């Protein structure tokens, strides 16, 4: 479901909310290569929640790019995502794009125009957006991962009443829904991936989907 742009004191733009745990600095060469591309898309609206174990050189480079950074003691997947969302909310954008940092860099590198266009269009959607991997993008993942994620997504799609991809590691939330997720999300493991959808359904928020190429398997980058 799309909408007209809001006319209020919140800018009609999108913040990237992303957690990062990088003790060995493996993200550094990718960040050096593609960090500027992310900045071109999101401007100053990039919120990175880093773990205390994250490599100091990685953190320094994030600071050089001007990203908004916080270090949290979360210690689990759920807390890392919630902390990233909370940090993104402080940027006062109307929409938040939750996305793993390595996937964000890969997307910006391989499908820059697609990601750029999506961020420009996202504010026209209502409440919750599931980014669904195209058939081609999904098939770049290992067969074991595809088998597991297909089963999980089938259950989520039944709940949503449409084909969603909660295992893509990417979703969009309007500001109000993001605040509800912070308040009501409880899971500290990969079960977090299902919570924003469940919370959206609980509060009768519209569910939207956008099919993308950019969420192909990013792990080989590292």
pLDDT (mean) for 15-41? 95
Comparison of pLDDT for 65 and 121, the residue scoring more: 65
Strand partners, 98: 17, 171
Q: Would you say the pTM of this structure is higher than 0.95?
A: no
Residue with tokens 């964000």: 104
Q: Whole-angstrom Cα distance, residue 129 to residue 147?
A: 23
- Which pair of tokens denotes residue 51? 């773990």
Residue with tokens 């990088």: 22
Give how far Cα 73 sits from Cα of 57, 66, 102, Å: 19, 22, 20
pLDDT digits (tens, 9 = 90+) for 175-210: 999 999 999 999 999 899 999 999 999 999 999 999
Note the pLDDT of residue 7: 36
Strand segments, DSSP code E, in the chain are 11-20, 46-50, 68-71, 93-99, 128-133, 170-174, 207-212
Is pLDDT above 70 for 11?
Answer: no
Is pLDDT above 70 for 12?
Answer: no
- Which pair of tokens denotes residue 78? 């759920």
Note the pLDDT of residue 2: 54
DSSP 213: S
Is pLDDT above 80 for 1?
Answer: no
pLDDT digits (tens, 9 = 90+) for 76-118: 899 999 999 999 999 999 999 999 999 999 999 999 999 999 9
φ/ψ of residue 189, rounded to 5: -125, -160
3-state secondary structure of 75: coil
Strand partners, 68: 47
Strand partners, 171: 98, 130
């Amino acid at each position: 479901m799309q909408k007209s742009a809001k006319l209020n004191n919140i800018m009609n733009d999108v913040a990237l909310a992303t957690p990062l745990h990088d003790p060995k600095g493996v993200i550094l060469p990718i960040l050096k290569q593609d960090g500027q591309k992310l900045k071109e898309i999101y401007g100053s609206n990039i919120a990175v929640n880093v773990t205390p174990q994250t490599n100091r050189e990685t953190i320094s480079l994030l600071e050089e790019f001007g990203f908004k950074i916080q270090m949290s003691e979360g210690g689990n997947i759920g807390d890392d995502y919630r902390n990233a969302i909370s940090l993104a909310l402080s940027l006062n954008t109307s929409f938040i794009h939750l996305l793993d940092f390595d996937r964000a860099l890969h997307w910006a590198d391989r499908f820059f125009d697609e990601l750029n266009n999506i961020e420009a269009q996202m504010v026209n959607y209502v409440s919750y957006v599931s980014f669904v991997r195209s058939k081609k993008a999904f098939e770049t993942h290992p067969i074991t991962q595809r088998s597991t994620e297909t089963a999980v997504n089938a259950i989520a799609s039944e709940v949503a009443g449409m084909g969603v991809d909660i295992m893509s590691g990417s979703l969009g939330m309007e500001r109000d829904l993001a605040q509800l997720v912070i308040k009501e999300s409880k899971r500290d493991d990969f079960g977090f991936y299902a919570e924003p959808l469940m919370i959206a359904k609980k509060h009768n928020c519209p569910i939207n989907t956008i099919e993308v190429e950019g969420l192909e398997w990013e792990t080989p980058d590292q």
